Structure formats: structure tokens, C-alpha cells
């Protein structure tokens, strides 16, 4: 998540206001979003501009309220914003600690299904150093969460590294694994363009349940029985597992600080990622800030 995980790096924000708009993957609602610079220790906050009160939601693990096919955060009044994981992943990959996000709807726009549009948007302005040291969350003890045949782990490590394995009953996806150390800006080249994916056979079921209403070949890789339906094919030969890493980076950034530790995910998703953070913060012996 950061190049040399030490406590000498300054907190960062963006230098200028930025705007972006697009459709929500699950809601199908068109959304406008603005990103604003924020002062040191502000953190990452979403503000629902379509609502007049109780409209601020802090991007923290403890505010995660739903993990079905995306990550949703809510405040104490039940006001929520969903599908935040790709934007959170971009903020993590670019080391943005403090930012105010105004949004006029209930879901972050999906853009092309990856985080590259958010990365390019943020890179269109300069990143500003703030006059305060960055806090790093150092993992001190092994933590593991399992559910059925899925699991996630955090272990002590001298930097942030991520290892992920997937296994889908589709010959086009099947088993994939990828291990990365996020250093020297490789988030943009190795992770940011990996798109969310789904299976053609599930589309009608999802839509009948009010999900994937904004989904299309423009914002997701759609896997058919015998072929990838997107005419441009895949961006990485292992794009599926790389997207799972992209999601996990976003979910883990809800820790409220960059993590120094080794993360391993096996056939896991948003729910286990949040359960892992809840287990981490359940005991102060598990971590320290450096």
C-alpha cells in the first residue's frame, strides 16, 4: 500500500477538486461524485448530497453494513453508500489518506468495473503532502477467519503484501493465484485495470433480486459457458484473481490506515474481508500504530 512502510511518510490528500459521474452497478442509478482535498487526520468520508441531514458516512470497517456482492457502509442513522471498494482501492493504491467525497446517490459509479478511471482521475491533479506523519497499522499477531471453504488471514510482515487464490467451477476462470508486493507504484500497472466479473448464467437471477441493474459489457467481464462475452477479451490473463486483489485492497483500507502485514485470501470476498478487520481490532494485542 505504500512504498517503504515506515513512519516518516507524510499524510496525503489531493490538490484540487475533481468530478466524475457514471452509473451504479447494482442500482442502475446515474450518480455524480466530487472529490475534495481534506486536512490531516480527516480520513475518508462520504457525504450524500441528495440528502439534507445525517448524510456523512465515515469509510471505516465498523461502518460496514452489507457485504452482498459489494461493500456498503452506513452511518448511525442508516444512511448508506454502496460499492465503495473500487474507489477505496484506488485511494489505497495512490496513498490518499484524507479526502472528502460528495455523492448525489446511494452507490459509487462502477465506471469500467475496475479502479483505473479513479486512478487516472486522481492522477490528473497533483497529490499534496500534509504536515503530519502517516499512521501505519502494524499487524502483530496471526489472525485467520474461515467460512465454509473460504478463508482470509493477516500475518506480521515488514511490508504490505497480498496473496490470493480463487477457484470457480468454470473452465474459463477455474483456479488462479497471484501474489504481489505493492511497491513503487505497481498498483496502477498490476491491479487497477482488473475488472469485476460475473457469469452469464447468473444475470437473470441477479436482476430479479434487484442486483446488477446497471451491469453491462462496458463495466464487467461476463463469463459465458464457453467464452468471454466481452469483445476485447481480458486485460490480464489472470484478470479474475487480480480483481479479487483489487477488491481486497479497497476493503482492507477501511482499517482507517495502511496495513503493514501479509494478507492471504482463499476463495473469499467482501464479507470475510470485513470479518478479518473486526477480528483484528477485537484485541489490541493484534496490532500497533507506528
User: Which residues are tagged catalytic?
Assistant: 270
Q: Are 201 and 177 in contact (CB under 8 A)?
A: no
- Report the chain's C-alpha Rg in angstroms: 18
Pairwise CA distance, residues 214 & 115, whole Å = 17
- Burial group, residue 9, by CB count within 10 angstroms (0-12, 13-18, 19+): middle
> Angle at the Cα of 164 (from 71 to 73), degrees rounded to 5?
10
Pair 24, 108: CB distance under 8 Å: yes
Backbone angles phi, psi at 237, to 5 degrees: -65, -25
What do you get for the CA distance between the two ends of the chain, in Å?
15
As given in the structure block, the three cell numbers for residue 50 are: 441528495
Amino acid at each position: 500500500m505504500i512504498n517503504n512502510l515506515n513512519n516518516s511518510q507524510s499524510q496525503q490528500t489531493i490538490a484540487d477538486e475533481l468530478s466524475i459521474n457514471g452509473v451504479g452497478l447494482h442500482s442502475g442509478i446515474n450518480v455524480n461524485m466530487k472529490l475534495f482535498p481534506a486536512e490531516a487526520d480527516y480520513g475518508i468520508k462520504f457525504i450524500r448530497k441528495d440528502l439534507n441531514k445525517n448524510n456523512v458516512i465515515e469509510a471505516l470497517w465498523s461502518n460496514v453494513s452489507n457485504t452482498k456482492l459489494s461493500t456498503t457502509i452506513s452511518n448511525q442513522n442508516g444512511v448508506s453508500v454502496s460499492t465503495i471498494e473500487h474507489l477505496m482501492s484506488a485511494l489505497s493504491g495512490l496513498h490518499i489518506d484524507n479526502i472528502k467525497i460528495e455523492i448525489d446517490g446511494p452507490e459509487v459509479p462502477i465506471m469500467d468495473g475496475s479502479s483505473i478511471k479513479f486512478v487516472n482521475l486522481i492522477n490528473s491533479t497533483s497529490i499534496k503532502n500534509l504536515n503530519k506523519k502517516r499512521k501505519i497499522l502494524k499487524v502483530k499477531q496471526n489472525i485467520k477467519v474461515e467460512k465454509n471453504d473460504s478463508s482470509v488471514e493477516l500475518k506480521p510482515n515488514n511490508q504490505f503484501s497480498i496473496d490470493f487464490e480463487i477457484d470457480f467451477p468454470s473452465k474459463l476462470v477455474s483456479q488462479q493465484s497471484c501474489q504481489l508486493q505493492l511497491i513503487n507504484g505497481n498498483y496502477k500497472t498490476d491491479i487497477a485495470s482488473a475488472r469485476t466479473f460475473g457469469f452469464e448464467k447468473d444475470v437473470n437471477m441477479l436482476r430479479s433480486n434487484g442486483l446488477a441493474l446497471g451491469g453491462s459489457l462496458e463495466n464487467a467481464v461476463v463469463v459465458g459457458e464457453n467464452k468471454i462475452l466481452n469483445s476485447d477479451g481480458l486485460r490480464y490473463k489472470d484478470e479474475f484473481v487480480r480483481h479479487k486483489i483489487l477488491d481486497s485492497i479497497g476493503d482492507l483500507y477501511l482499517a482507517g490506515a495502511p496495513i503493514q502485514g501479509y494478507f492471504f485470501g482463499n476463495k473469499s470476498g467482501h464479507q470475510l474481508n470485513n470479518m478479518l478487520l473486526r477480528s483484528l481490532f477485537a484485541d489490541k494485542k493484534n496490532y500497533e500504530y507506528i
